[in-house]
Structure 1
Amino acid sequence: MEQAKAAGGIFQGWWIVAAGFVCTALLIGSTTYSFGLFVAPLSTEFGLSRANANIGFMALLLGFAVWAPLVGRLLDRRPARQVIVGGGMLFAAGFVLMGLSHSPTTMALLVLGPVSIGTLAAGALAANTIAARWFLRQRGRALGVLAVATSAGGFLMPPLVAFLMQGLGWRPALMVQGLFVGLVIAALGWLLMRDRPSDLGLTPDGQPLPQAGQGPAAGGEIWTLGKLLRTRNFWLLSCGAGILLGADQALLSSLIPYGTDAGLTLPQASLLVSTLTFSAILGKLAIGALADRHDKRLLFCAVAACNFAFLVILLLSPGYTTLLIACSIIGLAIGGTYPLWTTLAADCFGTASFGSVLGGMNLLMVPFSIVAVRYIGEVFDRSGSYDIALMTFMGTAVLSTVLILALRLPPRS
């Protein structure tokens, strides 16, 4: 059996992961993490309130939920290179048109349409779908590496975008950013992305293909959205992972105001988020590797328990040093939620329709994040404290473990 090695002895699948990493980092860094840089200019130019300026971010999340099933299906049916190059071009077109637009409504529609579709078609959804086909025994490690891409994008892109805005103004910065990201993605997609190792005469992980009967992870059956919606594991995994990821998103968005309300300086509160994010990066890599050797359901329970512990610490309103230590240690586990979700999805449904599976799950999971972020803000506005929201998220952490433990996984090979 031919070994799946590229030139220099590096398995071709890791080049796929590298390309997916860069694409995801550029796209998520340019959208989710850089959006806040444009709130003030938009508010000033169009006379928008900050709440109305944030509609653009809501349009992005809504677009992710609406288009994910369709893009996922496209990734299962069309060559990966075509989808990723097309996604990069859509993203670039959306950013250029936003830079030319003088209507906030038109800009929101561009975010909802080409920007959201392009981010899905060439970003994390595409990268995870393709990488899952290239790895079997090392799938957890590969998807763990890809999970770090979002954090890397958040670290790298906002300073670069801010530099462009200072030198060019926000409209030219949008257009330059879109064209640069679109061209890089198109080049990487065309040169490096391939659908499956068999397309190059290679095998997953550089090892012989598994024998028949070792479970759906080796390929699996074809899944449509209708069939997924009638499947127990689909609802359990979507809701179990969705409510935990939603609570994490709400905590990240509120940790700085939580800290300043507790008497911390803005740099101190910002350091909490930076520490938690850096710790989560290490956690994504570590738990992704552990997922290749241990029961992912039990690992998920450990992650949820750490979320629970962190919420308890926040409720106790400890001092700055305690909070910093908690962020540095517990963040290691919190970062594991995303790679555990994607590897569990591959275990449950195989990789033959992995794009459709992840896309369908996004349809259910993104609303949890939208609701959680809105909920924690509403709780504070009405009570002057985050305590009720923190206690609610403790309950959802317990619920998520119950749902994940109820998953029925195929036998391990």
Structure 2
Amino acid sequence: MNYQDKPKPRFFYGWIVVACCFICCFSYGLFYTLGVFFTTLRSEFGWSSALTSSIHSLHLLVFIPSTFLMGWLGDKYGPRLPIILGAIFFGIGFSLLSKVNSLSQFYLFYAIASLGAGIIWSLPTATVQKWFIKNSGLALGIVVAGVGAAEMVFPPLAEHLISSYGWRTAYIQMGVGVAVLLLIASLGATTLERKGLQPYGTESLTQQEMVRKALSEVSWSRSEALRNKTLWLICAFYFCSVLPIHMLAIHLVPFAESIGIERAIAARLWILVGGMSILGRVFAPTFVEGTIGWRKGLIIVTAILALSFFWLSMIVSLRMLLVFAVIYGFFYGGKVPLIPGLIRSYFGTKSLGQLIGIVHAISLIGGAIGPFLAGYIVDVTGIYVVAFLIGAGFLALAAFLVWLSKAPKGVV
């Protein structure tokens, strides 16, 4: 079929899908607020740092089956149904947190909210890549920039709501607000088939036979990919790189407080991290897609993140922490879209949602370990130095693992 015979629409609907997927990623900001609630929850309930950190670890363990469930629903029915389910779980779970009086209740209601978390990563990144051939790096970067935007918005918003209305009301307000946003996003989220469209850039394939050849050959099934060592190297890389990322997601604000920075100022560090993260998420995939490639890009950004964590272990002032936030935010953000981009370049789109889900699920085990490990170390030593050095070590190992992950045999 010659796609040039079909008239090109003035506006490609895939950009609406990009906006809807952006909102899905943005909704993860709810879970980035635990660090802001951290000291308040410890003071009210008398929990240790390790116990309070274990809330996020539980969230990530529930995130794993949610990733598979939402990915499967997305592949079978399209993105709309899982987004609606995510809105329901978020709204109910976070609203119920306002009623807790014990750790077990907090675990239960946080787990309910976490059942919706599968819409945050594998679903939107797989969905948007099916809509684009041309500008796929840009579209993917915009989508995952939703998490960066959430990092800018939710921690300072949570701090304001806690100070103004109390932590219980803050959870209700944020949970209901995000649920409404997701329901709006579900209205525009759909598939190419239902719109009767072809991926953006398809009209030029007749002039680019090499692209057509590549797209036809890179089409791995889930079972084929699972038998290939490259996929497992990517899983190991993601496990090692996510452990310190989630460690910092929960402990950045408590760490800042531990070196004498007020909570209101510490929460606003996430504005800087999130802002730089957005730049990294948009710039990195757009740059590497046509230049050094996804794999080399991941090696570079992960190595720089390892150095940044090593430096974090020596930080003792707000000024140093601000510089760290700029460097860490940009390269952490840059890492995020390169992972699904690498998976697509190696294994194609046939089972992309499921493969991203598998890789992400394994990474979440590392993410669950990171916050609890840091909390335990702080309970024992009273400082964060050892925790951050361990984080640097895991990131260095991650850079080595992605260096080992060469393209599978048969991929152009």
* TM-score, normalization by structure 1: 0.81
**1:280 is aligned to 2:277:** yes
Of 175-184 and 64-73, more deviation after overlay is shown by 175-184
2: distance between equivalents of 1:68 and 1:349? 19
SS state of the match for residue 220, structure 2?
coil
Structure 2 residue aligned with 1:139:
136
Name 1:311's counterpart in structure 2. 309
> What is the match of residue 82 of structure 2?
83
Q: How many Å apart are 1:237 and its aligned residue?
A: 0.7
Q: Provide the aligned C-alpha RMSD in A.
A: 3.5
| Offset of residue 283 of structure 1 | 1.3
Question: What is the distance in 2 between the residues matched to 1:393 and 1:56?
Answer: 20
1:338 to 336, 357, 369: 336
Structure 1 residues 54 and 375, CA gap change in structure 2 (3 angstroms): closer
The corresponding residue for 1:241 is 238
What number of residue pairs does the alignment pair up? 401
2:222 alignment counterpart: 223
Sort the Cα spacing of 1:217 and 1:142 in 2 relative to 1 into closer, same or farther, 3 A.
farther
Alpha-carbon separation, structure 1, partners of 2:38 and 2:262: 24
CA contact (8 A) 1:39 1:50 kept: no
* Counterpart contact for 1:4–1:12, Cα < 8 Å: no
1:95-140 Cα offsets, whole Å, 9 max, x none, are 4455566665344223323x2222323x333211211111223222
Task: Give, in whole Å, the separation in 2 of the partners of 1:336 and 1:233.
Answer: 21
One-letter amino acid matched to 2:243: G
Alignment match, 1:148: 145
Is the 8 Å Cα contact of residues 17 and 146 (structure 1) preserved in structure 2? yes
1:160, 1:322 → 2: CA distance? 24
**1:195 aligned residue:** 191
Structure 2: tracts of 5 or more residues without a match: none
- Contact residue 120 and residue 126 of structure 1 kept, 8 A: yes
- Residue 127 (structure 2) aligned to one of 125, 130, 138: 130
> Do the aligned partners of residues 35 and 76 (structure 1) sit closer, same or farther apart at CA in structure 2, a change above 3 Å counting?
farther
Aligned counterparts of 1:230 and 1:374: Cα–Cα separation in 2: 32
Give the C-alpha shift of residue 172 in structure 1: 5.4
State the Cα deviation string for residues 189-211 of structure 1 (Å, max 9, x = none): 12x11123x43232222433756
Q: Distance in 2 between matches of 1:249 and 1:140?
A: 25
Letter in 2 for 1:407: S
> Is contact 1:72–1:357 with CA below 8 Å preserved after alignment?
no
Give unpaired runs (5+ residues) of structure 1.
none
* Counterpart AA for 2:19: A
Offset of residue 39 of structure 1: 6.9
Cross-structure match for 2:116: 118
Please name the residue that 1:15 is paired with: 16
TM-aligned CA distance change 1:385 to 1:97, over 3 Å? closer
Partner SS, residue 200 of structure 2: helix
- Conserved 8 A contact 2:279-2:333: yes
Matched letter for residue 305 of structure 1: A
Structural mapping, 1:292-307, within 5 Å: 292-294=289-291, 295-307=293-305
Tell me if structure 1 keeps the 8 A contact 2:95–2:176.
Answer: yes
Query: 402-411 vs 69-78, which deviates more?
Result: 402-411
Q: What is the CA distance between 1:149 and its match in structure 2?
A: 0.9
Q: For residues 321 and 119 of structure 1, do their structure 2 counterparts lie closer, same or farther at Cα, with a shift above 3 Å needed?
A: closer
The CA deviation string for residues 246-278 of structure 1, in whole angstroms up to 9 with x for no partner, is 223324544455556667676776665543432
Query: Any conservation in 2 of the 1:142–1:288 contact (CA below 8 Å)?
Result: no
Deviations 1:113-171 (A, max 9, x none): 3x2222323x3332112111112232222222222211212322345556666776655
Change (3 A) 1:104 1:304: closer
Of 188, 199, 202, which aligns to 1:204? 199
Deviation of 1:12 (Å): 1.7
Does the C-alpha gap of structure 1 residues 174 and 238 become closer, same or farther in structure 2, counting only changes over 3 Å? same
Q: Do the aligned partners of residues 62 and 5 (structure 1) sit closer, same or farther apart at CA in structure 2, a change above 3 Å counting?
A: farther
Matches within 5 A, 1:37-186: 37=37, 40=40, 44=44, 47=45, 49-51=47-49, 52-99=51-98, 105-113=104-112, 115-121=113-119, 123-160=120-157, 171=168, 174-186=171-183
CA distance in 2, matches of 1:232, 1:374: 30
Hey, what's the Cα distance between the residues in 2 that align with 1:221 and 1:189? 29
Q: Which amino acid aligns with 1:66?
A: P
Q: Which moved more, 1:328-337 or 1:248-257?
A: 248-257
Written as runs of structure 1 = structure 2, the 5 A alignment for 1:304-383 is: 304-315=302-313, 317=315, 321=319, 324-329=322-327, 331-383=329-381
Moved more, 346-355 or 361-370: 346-355
